[in-house]
Structure 1
Amino acid sequence: MRDGGRIAAAIEILNSIESHHRPAKTAVKEWGAAHRFAGSGDRAWIGGLVLDTLRRRASVAYLMQDETPRALVLGTMVHAWGMTGEEMTALFGGDEHAPEPPTEAELAGFARDLTGAKPHVRGDYPDWLAKSMDRAFGKDAADEGAALAARAPVDLRVNALKAETDKAMHAVQSKIPQAVASHLVADAIRIPQTDPRGKNAPAESIPAYGKGWVEVQDAGSQIAGLAAAVDPGAQVLDFCAGAGGKTLELAAMTGNTGQVYAWDHDWRRLRAIWPRLKRAGARNVQVKDGPEGEALADLVGKMDVVFIDAPCTGAGTWRRRPDSKWRLKPEALARRIEQQDEVLDRASTYVKPGGRLVYVTCSFLPEENSDRVEAFLTRDGGFEQVSTLAALKASGGLAEGAQDVLAKCEDDAGAILLSPRRSDTDGFYIAVMERK
């Protein structure tokens, strides 16, 4: 496909997303299935443009003074992809599948800048979240939002149960030469983002992934797992295990000793954990797939660590799911807050005296983070908050220089808030509490 046809496809997909209210990645996939002539490179280019347009929707709409899919796509190519108005006009010439060339109004939009725009426009986040962003980031809210509107790299966690870091790095670099060591996690690999119009590295198709040597996991998520600071032989409960990403990390940290119990209130989310455990060689994991009262009754008050990867809005993952930030509504946040309070109250009962409760969200919203921890500590006087950074140091899993980065992410209570701008990761909140 020529670029003009690709642009037309992106506009078509965005129209479909708006009219049918479907997730962006689903709409892109369905378009590809219905247009078999489009090769993998075409689909990657089109999908990348669609997602970049959603990432920058507020700022581009402001610049173009137009919210239609056409204006947003064309504006994204200029303001995010770096094309000029002249290049855009030339791009559409002689291609019968291309949209109409840019209008005078669109050319004027290509030349505008964000001077005078409100912070939520410059930061590309919903206006109703402005107060939350201000609470989380203060004067840096717009810059933090802009960082959340960029593309994300691919991070790999080296599975210590199957491979040493050097061996895994060599295997990954043999297929993806641009891979480098993580700046935060000692046993992690980063695949930097390519040119906006380039195709992402297929991390899950390389032999090292198939052999279980590496897992795809954002560095921020890996940091969250390290905060558990589990020792070999520990008894650990992953209370919201889902598909098992943190479960696998916890199993590797214990060196396949002790026990890691994986449970989730929605048993359907656990279905993906079985093949992942097998591929990773994790043998000390017990998957508990019954009702909580039956499945976990014998664990009450016995766990060294209870890990909560809490249900949340996912605001910290906007780089990867940009359409979700525009779908998020106040009532959805309110539901998550109720769930988080309930999860904290229930999960805490499994922590033994002197044991730790690790609370994690992939969100930067204070309502889901510090507010929830403070409310829990008020309800339950049997816990006290301790330093997350101290736990990370004790884990032994940080890369050289990571402590300096993470110290700048620490709040007054000892929790850590990661973000693309602060730590070059997804957004994560990590709090550690200890039972007295």
Structure 2
Amino acid sequence: MLKSSLSPSSNELVISILDLVLSEGKPLDRAYSQHFSGLKLEPTEQGRITFVVGDILRRLNLYCYLSDVTPEEMARLGSRLLNVWHLFNELPLPKMQYSLQVDTADLASRIESAKAQPVLWDGCPDWLNQMGEAQMGDKWPAERAALNKPAKRFLRTNILKCTRDELANALRKEGVQTASVEGVDTALEVVSDSALFRTEAFKKGWFEQQDAGSQLVALALDAKPGMRVVDACAGAGGKTLSISAQMQGKGRLLAMDVEQWKLDNLKQRARRAGAHNVETRIIASSKTIKRLKLTADRVLLDVPCSGLGVLKRNPDAKWRDTPERLPVLVELQKHILQSYSRMVKVGGILVYATCSIMPEENRDQIDAFLAENKHFRFIEDETISPAETGFDGFYLAKLERISEE
């Protein structure tokens, strides 16, 4: 939470970033990269800017309603929305070169009206609320409210290089305060406003920034030293590196993806982490998967999904996505689960995972798969709830192959 108003230049940056996301559909991380590149911002000021942008996007429809500004008007009327944001958060009005005034009486009236509309107050678009109610019923309001909160900062201890206590002590000496996370042995929560990536601990590869819920997904694989393990949708490799640490760097860990640039990033991260058993491979065609049939002790399928469990961290997705995208993703998930499960050998374990909390992408997919694939048996599953844990939202299901077919 900010304790003082943004500077004039920071306000202009906030408006420009929001306009790039809302008018041009630019993903938030790319909008940040475009605007911060070349600027000599102090880490604290960059953090303040990203906090305000994130908070506005998490409850965009609320702030648009309170300021009477549409997303399409951000470039022209964004100063009024920012003034409303400051007043709503009990901060002095910021100084800006061009600033549209706010009718405080009208704002007070709008705030009272918004409080009587829970969906609006939680910053939830109508399409998402309808989906949540249909799929999650009585559980949805608590999850909806949890998803409008700022994401906490979690670290994963790289146990290839240090223990969690050693990491916490090293960070403390560099001015970073952390707290252990109950139920996740590798996790620390960062509780101070600190520049993590300038620390010696980061340079030495002692930690990765990774949500505690994401760490639970990787830990569920229960990979052992000497195993043959496949992370088949590895992306940039956060879970891959966690799995390598579980394996103590021993055995073969194959990280696969359809995008080479992600695997290139993973190689760099693996070198810093000392994860020397990681091998990357591009999925060029279905033949790449077929060649690995019945070879893996463990397979992680962290499939493409709606991302509706991680909206705290990626709030722009609420305003770029539509309900029509979900059926396309569900079909893709079904295809990946059916095809990539062939890599699991008899007695091996498959973990299917998403960063969604919607049953259609999660347990419904598993039930449909098991109905058609009697050579797998269900072990357990878990939905990691943002409302119950404070983590991002994830789903994981563990299956065992009991026969070849």
Q: Secondary structure at the match of 1:241?
A: coil
CA separation of 1:306 and 1:33: change in aligned 2, threshold 3 A:
closer
Within 5 Å, which residues of 2 pair with 1:349-428?
349-387=342-380, 415-428=381-394
What is aligned with 1:11?
15
Q: Secondary structure at the match of 2:309?
A: helix
**CA distance in 1 between partners of 2:36 and 2:283 (Å):** 39
Cα deviation code 1:41-70 (max 9, x no counterpart): 444323321221111112333445553544
**CA distance in 1 between partners of 2:7 and 2:99 (Å):** 7
What letter is aligned with 1:14?
L
Please report how far the alpha carbon of residue 191 of structure 1 lies from its aligned counterpart in structure 2 after TM superposition.
0.5
Structure 1 residues not aligned, in runs of 5+? 195-199, 388-414
Please report how far the alpha carbon of residue 429 of structure 1 lies from its aligned counterpart in structure 2 after TM superposition.
0.7
Cα deviation code 1:336-385 (max 9, x no counterpart): 11210111011110111222110010111222112211221122222122
The number of residue pairs the alignment matches comes to 392
CA separation of 1:289 and 1:12: change in aligned 2, threshold 3 A:
closer
**CA distance in 1 between partners of 2:225 and 2:49 (Å):** 47
Please report how far the alpha carbon of residue 173 of structure 1 lies from its aligned counterpart in structure 2 after TM superposition.
1.9
Q: Secondary structure at the match of 2:116?
A: coil
Normalised TM-score (structure 2): 0.87
What is aligned with 1:266?
259
1:205 maps onto 2:204 in alignment: no
What is aligned with 1:53?
56
CA contact (8 A) 1:151 1:319 kept: yes
What letter is aligned with 2:61?
A
Please report how far the alpha carbon of residue 427 of structure 1 lies from its aligned counterpart in structure 2 after TM superposition.
0.8
Please report how far the alpha carbon of residue 18 of structure 1 lies from its aligned counterpart in structure 2 after TM superposition.
3.0
CA contact (8 A) 2:303 2:333 kept: yes
**CA distance in 1 between partners of 2:350 and 2:341 (Å):** 7
Within 5 Å, which residues of 2 pair with 1:297-376?
297-376=290-369
**CA distance in 2 between partners of 1:44 and 1:428 (Å):** 26
Moved more, 238-247 or 293-302: 293-302
CA separation of 1:371 and 1:131: change in aligned 2, threshold 3 A:
farther
Within 5 Å, which residues of 2 pair with 1:108-187?
108-109=108-109, 111-112=111-112, 114-117=114-117, 119-187=118-186
Moved more, 147-156 or 23-32: 23-32
Structure 2 residues not aligned, in runs of 5+? none
What letter is aligned with 1:266?
E
Normalised TM-score (structure 1): 0.82
**CA distance in 2 between partners of 1:123 and 1:140 (Å):** 15
CA contact (8 A) 2:178 2:189 kept: yes
Moved more, 342-351 or 164-173: 164-173
CA contact (8 A) 2:297 2:348 kept: yes
CA separation of 1:286 and 1:24: change in aligned 2, threshold 3 A:
closer
**CA distance in 1 between partners of 2:240 and 2:279 (Å):** 10
CA separation of 1:58 and 1:19: change in aligned 2, threshold 3 A:
closer
Q: Secondary structure at the match of 2:346?
A: strand
| Aligned-pair Cα RMSD in Å | 2.6
Moved more, 353-362 or 121-130: 121-130
What is aligned with 1:253?
246
What letter is aligned with 2:237?
G
CA separation of 1:361 and 1:10: change in aligned 2, threshold 3 A:
same
Please report how far the alpha carbon of residue 12 of structure 1 lies from its aligned counterpart in structure 2 after TM superposition.
4.3
CA separation of 1:300 and 1:146: change in aligned 2, threshold 3 A:
same
Identity %: 32
CA contact (8 A) 1:50 1:73 kept: no
What letter is aligned with 2:212?
A
Please report how far the alpha carbon of residue 2 of structure 1 lies from its aligned counterpart in structure 2 after TM superposition.
6.9
Q: Secondary structure at the match of 2:347?
A: strand
Cα deviation code 1:388-432 (max 9, x no counterpart): xxxxxxxxxxxxxxxxxxxxxxxxxxx211132111111101111
Q: Secondary structure at the match of 2:161?
A: coil
**CA distance in 2 between partners of 1:379 and 1:270 (Å):** 32
**CA distance in 1 between partners of 2:26 and 2:172 (Å):** 36
What letter is aligned with 1:130?
N
What is aligned with 1:401?
none
**CA distance in 1 between partners of 2:116 and 2:68 (Å):** 14
CA contact (8 A) 2:11 2:96 kept: no
Please report how far the alpha carbon of residue 273 of structure 1 lies from its aligned counterpart in structure 2 after TM superposition.
1.5
**CA distance in 2 between partners of 1:128 and 1:134 (Å):** 10
Please report how far the alpha carbon of residue 106 of structure 1 lies from its aligned counterpart in structure 2 after TM superposition.
4.6
Q: Secondary structure at the match of 1:315?
A: coil
What letter is aligned with 1:60?
Y
| Matching residue within 77, 80, 86 for 1:77 | 86
Please report how far the alpha carbon of residue 149 of structure 1 lies from its aligned counterpart in structure 2 after TM superposition.
1.2
What is aligned with 1:226?
219
Moved more, 288-297 or 125-134: 288-297
Please report how far the alpha carbon of residue 116 of structure 1 lies from its aligned counterpart in structure 2 after TM superposition.
2.9
**CA distance in 1 between partners of 2:135 and 2:205 (Å):** 37
Q: Secondary structure at the match of 1:138?
A: helix
CA separation of 1:288 and 1:96: change in aligned 2, threshold 3 A:
closer
CA separation of 1:98 and 1:134: change in aligned 2, threshold 3 A:
same
**CA distance in 2 between partners of 1:265 and 1:29 (Å):** 23
Q: Secondary structure at the match of 2:149?
A: coil
**CA distance in 2 between partners of 1:37 and 1:290 (Å):** 39
CA contact (8 A) 1:49 1:73 kept: no
CA contact (8 A) 2:84 2:102 kept: no
CA separation of 1:168 and 1:38: change in aligned 2, threshold 3 A:
closer
**CA distance in 2 between partners of 1:20 and 1:263 (Å):** 31
CA contact (8 A) 1:78 1:110 kept: no
What is aligned with 2:100?
100
Please report how far the alpha carbon of residue 207 of structure 1 lies from its aligned counterpart in structure 2 after TM superposition.
1.1
CA separation of 1:3 and 1:431: change in aligned 2, threshold 3 A:
same
What letter is aligned with 1:277?
A
Please report how far the alpha carbon of residue 223 of structure 1 lies from its aligned counterpart in structure 2 after TM superposition.
0.2
**CA distance in 2 between partners of 1:183 and 1:320 (Å):** 21
Please report how far the alpha carbon of residue 9 of structure 1 lies from its aligned counterpart in structure 2 after TM superposition.
4.3
**CA distance in 2 between partners of 1:252 and 1:15 (Å):** 41
Cα deviation code 1:226-258 (max 9, x no counterpart): 111122222211111111211111111111222
**CA distance in 1 between partners of 2:334 and 2:223 (Å):** 24
What is aligned with 2:278?
285
